[in-house]
Amino acid sequence: MIKRRAKDFLLNIAEQSGALRFVQYLHHDVGNHLAVLAYHRVAESDSPLSRRLYDLVSATPRQFEEQMSLLATCFNPVSAEDVLDAVRGDKPLPSQAVLVTVDDGYRDFKDVIFPIAQKYGIRPVLFVPTAYVGGGIFWWDRLYNAITHAKYVQLDTWLGSFPLKTAEQRQIAFDTIANYVRMQPFEKALADVENLCDDITPKDSRSTPFTLDWGELRDLSKAGATLAPHTHTHPIMTHISLEKAREELRTSLGLLNQEVGDVLPLFAYPDGRDHAVNDELALMLKSENIEIAFTMSDSLSRIKNDNLQLFPRLTPYSESLPRFHLKLTSFRSA
């Protein structure tokens, strides 16, 4: 804790004095390096959303605005079209290039993320799991609602019994069950969650809309957002067969083309960390003409060196502005 505070103090001085900006501009990387930022949700730190999964909320609205302002001031935000042009060899990226991406299609993309990004001239990419457009509820949202609203003091599950007398106990129950479910074979995980939630969820708490509908997505596309597939039902793709993974891609891509118009050949893996991607999936995506598939590996991105079907993104989870700036600057010097 003391070391972290000391580091934050020094970083604040470096940010305010312009030292971070000076270090950033020592690295000239025209055409090859690209920082791809991966966001999920933007919400206040005391929002119940921040307790649904440890990586669901990427920033508060204030933090997100500060980050977009920094990108517009100190970096060169680029569009998905710019990145594809660079990949194809048509036009190199500028120095300090940054692409902003957002996963899952929650309502706060329209209400918070896109208006702020648009204010700073930034065109984000929204990766959409198409089964949940306009009213679908992700399993983790349904599980959280079920446990939060359950009229029980104890919950009996396949993992054992959980007391639900306090908010803290309900959070422990959710965390334990969710972290188990997310690592199970997808169909079994969905069935387990559905059965549990059907048993304990009050009917009046089941229909809260969390996601954007097709009309809203079309309007966002016309306003400058780039939409791309994020599978249909959001499985971890290593937990399903290769052919099922191919079907997930084709269904998502087909619905986006049908509802929004021609979409760019981009894709983001659900979860996207090392356990959720592999070379076999990368080859399948390439065979389906996906030119860039984004992971969540939180590492260096280089147009000319990286496997474009396993392309890294950086994760800016609720970091202070100096830490956010340092992350991008350290990335440049890697």
- On whether both 281 and 150 belong to a single domain, the answer is no
Q: Find the mean pLDDT for residues 209-215.
A: 89
* pLDDT one-digit tens code per residue, 228-249: 999 999 999 999 999 999 999 9
Question: Comparing C-alpha atoms, which of 302, 256, 304, 298 is closest to residue 277?
Answer: 298
Q: Taking all residues of the chain, what is their mean pLDDT, rounded to a whole number?
A: 86
* pLDDT one-digit tens code per residue, 38-50: 999 898 866 555 4
Q: In 10 A of CB 107, how many CB atoms?
A: 15
- Residue 136 is predicted with a pLDDT of 79
- Residue 133 is predicted with a pLDDT of 95
Q: Find the mean pLDDT for residues 185-191.
A: 88
Domain boundary among 179, 205, 231: 205
- Residue 27 is predicted with a pLDDT of 60
Q: Per-residue confidence at 56, pLDDT binned at 50, 70, 90?
A: confident
Q: Does the pLDDT value for residue 328 go beyond 90?
A: no
- On whether both 166 and 272 belong to a single domain, the answer is no
- Residue 263 is predicted with a pLDDT of 95
Decide: 17 and 70 in contact? Cβ < 8 Å.
no
Domain boundary among 205, 224, 246: 205
Using the 8-state DSSP alphabet, how is residue 307 labeled? -
Q: How far apart are the first and last CA of the chain?
A: 26
- On whether both 245 and 276 belong to a single domain, the answer is yes
Q: Per-residue confidence at 12, pLDDT binned at 50, 70, 90?
A: low
Q: Per-residue confidence at 7, pLDDT binned at 50, 70, 90?
A: low
- On whether both 216 and 301 belong to a single domain, the answer is yes
- On whether both 199 and 321 belong to a single domain, the answer is no
- On whether both 246 and 324 belong to a single domain, the answer is yes
Domain boundary among 190, 205, 220: 205
Question: How far is CA 224 from each of CA 58, 99, 105, 219, rounded to the nearest angstrom?
Answer: 22, 14, 15, 9
The CATH number assigned to the domain holding 102 equals: 3.20.20.370
Q: Does the pLDDT value for residue 52 go beyond 60?
A: no
Q: Does the pLDDT value for residue 204 go beyond 90?
A: no
- Residue 57 is predicted with a pLDDT of 82
Q: Which segment, 97-106, 207-216, 313-322, is predicted with the most confidence on average?
A: 97-106
Range of the domain at 170: 139-205
- Residue 11 is predicted with a pLDDT of 58
- On whether both 115 and 148 belong to a single domain, the answer is no
Question: Which long-range contacts link 140-144 to residues 24+ away (Cβ below 8 Å)?
Answer: 140/52, 140/53, 140/56, 140/178, 140/182, 141/52, 141/210, 142/193, 142/194, 142/197, 142/201, 142/206, 143/174, 143/177, 143/178, 143/181, 143/193, 143/196, 143/197, 144/48, 144/51, 144/52, 144/174, 144/178
- Tell me which of 17 and 298 has the higher pLDDT: 298
- Residue 321 is predicted with a pLDDT of 86
Number of domain units in the chain:
2
- Residue 334 is predicted with a pLDDT of 47
- Tell me which of 201 and 67 has the higher pLDDT: 67
- Residue 137 is predicted with a pLDDT of 85
**Orientation angle between helical segments 186-200 and 139-149, nearest 10 degrees:** 30
- Tell me which of 202 and 137 has the higher pLDDT: 137
Instruction: Work out the percent of the chain whose per-residue pLDDT is above 90.
Output: 55
- Residue 212 is predicted with a pLDDT of 95
DSSP state string for 18-87: THHHHHHTT---TTTB-EEEEE-EE--TTSGGGGT-TTSEEE-HHHHHHHHHHHHHHSEE--HHHHHHHH
Q: Which range (34-43, 64-73, 263-272, 309-318) has the least confidence?
A: 309-318
- Tell me which of 7 and 219 has the higher pLDDT: 219
- On whether both 6 and 105 belong to a single domain, the answer is yes
- On whether both 218 and 277 belong to a single domain, the answer is yes
Q: Find the mean pLDDT for residues 159-188.
A: 90
- On whether both 39 and 179 belong to a single domain, the answer is no
76-77 and 160-163: which strand pairing?
unpaired
- On whether both 199 and 217 belong to a single domain, the answer is no
- On whether both 114 and 228 belong to a single domain, the answer is yes
Q: Find the mean pLDDT for residues 193-197.
A: 88
User: Does the reported pTM lie above 0.85?
Assistant: yes
